[in-house]
Structure 1
Amino acid sequence: MPGGIAHQAKTFLDTSGRQYAESPLPAWASSIAILYQLPDSKRLYNSRLLPRPWTVLLFSSLFIASGWMAYDNAPIDGAGTTAAWSAIYCIMNGSPRKLGKLLRFGRVAPLGITGFAAANTVTHGYYYLTVPRSKEEVEELKRLQGE
């Protein structure tokens, strides 16, 4: 069955992924996980393997803010912000050369954090792009599905 995996992924994103993206906990967990790198990023500042300390603090505070959006009854905006900043984090810190060197030194936390950010990009991005935002969009969607 050629569409089996794609159908299962879409079903997962529409059910469990939706609940995951509406919660502020993934954004806050990302913030804590990124902040976990702060002592090592200060110590290994010149190695260019870990993010810079100011980058760690910036991403951590942005994930706290996006989690707060989801907590403060704006889950769509919080999901969009989380997806965008997770994608930027993956682009900045997910290079195979950098992660490969870290794995050789026995540091698996940066790889896990980058994987977590990639998962947040997919789940929160799908939620942000597929959920109608306003009453007009809901009415338009119902009208299009009724035809």
Structure 2
Amino acid sequence: MSAELIDTASTSPVPPFIFSTLLLSRGLTATRPIDKIASGSSGASARLASTLALAKPTRVSCFLFGFTNLLGSYMIYDNELENGAGFTFAWSTLYLLVNGGASIKSAIRGRVVPLGLSVLALGNVGLYGRQYFWPSRKLIA
């Protein structure tokens, strides 16, 4: 990638907006465990549903990190580039600390969505960390 493309991407609110949209949609569509008392469910299907529902990222972390990245995206959109980049960098780093290891384990089990979310968080860490620590240019209002 060229340096100009990276500079343009690190001043855009689109990457954290996409990440937050995917996290919020994941939080809304996450599976819930089957009731063990539900009629017609075997013990194996209840254990499988419980395992899938307890896998990371959890619904709470999807909503928490989704709304914080949405806020960071809005800060960048509102021409607060330095604060928005630092905020997005910090919360994307926290997402990786909380869910990064579990996403690798999920990929081994055949679930690629958590790994994809971690890759997007890593991209935000790279883009906005560079913009926050080594700013190349600022948006002029």
- Name the TM tier (shorter chain): 0.7 to 0.9
Find the aligned partners of 1:77 and 1:108 in 2 and give their Cα distance: 32
Q: Percent identity?
A: 29
Q: What residue is the counterpart of 1:75 in the other structure? A: 81
Question: Counterparts of 2:126 and 2:136 in 1: how far apart (Å)?
Answer: 18
For residue 131 of structure 1, give the secondary structure of its aligned residue in structure 2.
coil
Do 2:19 and 2:120's aligned partners in 1 also have CA atoms closer than 8 Å? Answer: yes
Residue number in structure 2 paired with 1:141: none
The answer to whether the 8 A contact 2:7-2:136 is kept is no
Q: Once the two structures are superposed, what CA deviation does each residue of 1:7-43 show, in whole Å capped at 9, x if it has no partner?
A: xx7xx4x422221111111111010111232145452
1:119 pairs, out of 116, 123, 130, with 123
Normalised to the residue count of structure 2, the TM-score between the two structures is: 0.74
For the residue of structure 2 that corresponds to 1:122, the secondary structure is helix
Question: In the superposition, relative to structure 1, how do residues 68 and 102 fare at CA in structure 2: closer, same or farther (>3 Å)?
Answer: same
Match of 2:113 in 1: 109
How many residues are matched? 121
Per-residue deviation, 1:56 = 1.2
Alpha-carbon distance between aligned partners in 2 of 1:36 and 1:50, rounded to the nearest angstrom = 14
Letter in 2 for 1:129: F
Aligned residue for 1:62, secondary structure, equals helix
More helix by share: 1
Unaligned runs of 5+ in 1: 1-8, 135-147
Distance 1:67 1:100, change over 3 A: closer
| 1:54-69 superposed matches below 5 A | 54-69=60-75
**Which runs of at least 4 in structure 1 moved beyond 4 Å after TM superposition?**
none
- Which residue pairs with 2:17 in the alignment? 28
Distance verdict in 2 for CA 1:107–1:40, change over 3 Å: farther
**TM-score, normalised relative to structure 1:** 0.71
Supply the distance in 1 between the matched residues of 2:25 and 2:76 (Cα, whole angstroms). 22
